[in-house]
Amino acid sequence: MGNTIFSKIISKEIPADIVFESENVLAFRDISPKAPTHILIIPKIEIPTVREISGSEHAVLLGELFDAANHIAKELKIAEEGFRLVINCGANGGQEVYHLHMHLLGGRKLTWPPG
Ligand code: AMP
How high is the mean pLDDT of the chain?
A: 97
Residue 18 in contact with ligand 1 by CB distance below 6 A: no
Domain-located, residue 70: yes
Q: Is residue 84 part of a domain?
A: yes
| Residue 112, domain member (yes or no) | no
Q: Using a 6 Å cutoff on CB, does residue 89 contact ligand 1?
A: no
Assigned domain for 15 exists? yes
Q: Domain with 98 in it: what CATH number? A: 3.30.428.10
Task: Check whether 115 has a pLDDT greater than 90.
Answer: no
User: Does residue 111 fall inside a structural domain?
Assistant: no
Using DSSP's 3-state secondary structure scheme, residue 54 falls into coil
Whether 1 has a pLDDT exceeding 70, the answer reads no
The count of domains in the chain is: 1
Q: Where are the beta strands (DSSP E) in 30-75?
A: 37-43
Distance (angstroms) between ligand 1 centre and the Cα of 54 equals 24
- Give Cα separations from 10 to 48, 67, 70 (angstroms): 15, 19, 21
Residue 9: give the domain boundaries.
5-106
Whether the bond between 43 and the residue before it is cis, its omega within 30 degrees of 0, is: no
User: What is the C-alpha to C-alpha distance for residues 36 and 46, in angstroms, rounded to an integer?
Assistant: 28
Q: What is the pLDDT of residues 72-98, one digit of tens each?
A: 999 999 999 999 999 999 999 999 999
Beta strands in the chain (DSSP E): 18-21, 25-29, 37-43, 83-86, 102-106
By most ligand atoms within 8 Å of CB, the mutation choice from 4, 26, 29, 40 for ligand 1 is: 40
- Read off the pLDDT of each residue in 1-23 and give the average, rounded to a whole number: 94
**Do 87 and 50 meet the contact criterion of CB atoms below 8 Å apart?**
yes
Which atom in ligand 1 lies closest to the alpha carbon of residue 95?
A: 4
Which residues does the annotation mark as catalytic? 101
CA angle, 55 then 60 then 63, to 5°: 95
Give the span between the Cα atoms of 47 and 67, in whole angstroms: 18
Assess whether the C-beta atom of 5 lies below 6 angstroms from ligand 1. Answer: yes
Looking at the domain assignment, is residue 114 inside a domain? no
